Amino acid sequence: MTESQVLENQHSPLLFTLIALAASDIVQSVHPHIWLSKHMYMMSFIWNKLYYVHFLHMFFKSHLSYYN
Protein backbone atom coordinates (compact mmCIF):
# COMPACT_ATOMS: atom_id res chain seq x y z
CA MET A 1 0.00 0.00 0.00
CA THR A 2 1.56 3.27 -1.09
CA GLU A 3 1.47 6.47 0.94
CA SER A 4 -0.87 8.18 -1.53
CA GLN A 5 -3.34 5.29 -1.27
CA VAL A 6 -3.28 5.58 2.51
CA LEU A 7 -3.94 9.32 2.31
CA GLU A 8 -6.82 8.75 -0.14
CA ASN A 9 -8.33 6.13 2.15
CA GLN A 10 -8.20 8.45 5.16
CA HIS A 11 -11.07 10.48 3.72
CA SER A 12 -13.56 7.61 3.81
CA PRO A 13 -14.22 7.42 7.60
CA LEU A 14 -14.65 11.21 7.78
CA LEU A 15 -17.11 11.14 4.90
CA PHE A 16 -18.96 8.22 6.48
CA THR A 17 -19.19 10.11 9.80
CA LEU A 18 -20.53 13.25 8.12
CA ILE A 19 -23.14 11.22 6.23
CA ALA A 20 -24.15 9.36 9.39
CA LEU A 21 -24.43 12.57 11.43
CA ALA A 22 -26.39 14.33 8.68
CA ALA A 23 -28.69 11.31 8.36
CA SER A 24 -29.22 11.21 12.13
CA ASP A 25 -30.12 14.94 12.13
CA ILE A 26 -32.66 14.37 9.33
CA VAL A 27 -34.12 11.32 11.09
CA GLN A 28 -34.33 13.25 14.36
CA SER A 29 -36.15 16.19 12.75
CA VAL A 30 -38.58 13.98 10.80
CA HIS A 31 -39.10 11.33 13.46
CA PRO A 32 -37.58 12.64 16.72
CA HIS A 33 -36.53 9.52 18.57
CA ILE A 34 -33.21 10.46 20.15
CA TRP A 35 -32.09 6.85 20.62
CA LEU A 36 -32.04 6.36 16.84
CA SER A 37 -29.68 9.28 16.19
CA LYS A 38 -27.52 8.17 19.12
CA HIS A 39 -27.39 4.68 17.64
CA MET A 40 -26.32 6.07 14.25
CA TYR A 41 -23.70 8.27 15.92
CA MET A 42 -22.32 5.26 17.81
CA MET A 43 -22.17 3.24 14.60
CA SER A 44 -20.08 5.95 12.93
CA PHE A 45 -17.90 6.17 16.06
CA ILE A 46 -17.32 2.39 16.07
CA TRP A 47 -16.66 2.46 12.31
CA ASN A 48 -13.95 5.11 12.84
CA LYS A 49 -12.33 3.10 15.63
CA LEU A 50 -12.26 -0.05 13.50
CA TYR A 51 -10.89 1.92 10.56
CA TYR A 52 -8.02 3.42 12.57
CA VAL A 53 -7.11 0.04 14.07
CA HIS A 54 -7.00 -1.30 10.50
CA PHE A 55 -4.97 1.74 9.34
CA LEU A 56 -2.40 1.31 12.14
CA HIS A 57 -2.16 -2.40 11.40
CA MET A 58 -1.51 -1.73 7.70
CA PHE A 59 0.93 1.04 8.58
CA PHE A 60 3.01 -1.12 10.93
CA LYS A 61 2.84 -4.12 8.61
CA SER A 62 4.24 -2.08 5.71
CA HIS A 63 6.95 -0.53 7.87
CA LEU A 64 7.99 -3.79 9.49
CA SER A 65 8.33 -5.40 6.08
CA TYR A 66 11.10 -2.92 5.24
CA TYR A 67 13.27 -4.25 8.06
CA ASN A 68 12.70 -7.94 7.42
pLDDT at residue 34 in the model: 61
Cα–Cα distance measured from residue 29 to residue 33, given in angstroms and rounded to the nearest whole number: 9
pLDDT at residue 37 in the model: 67
- Provide the residue-wise pLDDT of the chain in tens; the chain has 68 residues: 555 554 455 556 677 777 777 776 666 666 656 656 677 777 778 777 888 888 888 878 777 766 55
CB within 8 Å of 55: residues ≥ 6 apart: 6, 9, 10
CB within 8 Å of 25: residues ≥ 6 apart: 37
The residue extents of the domains of the chain are: 8-67
pTM recorded for the entire structure: 0.31
pLDDT at residue 68 in the model: 52
pLDDT at residue 42 in the model: 77
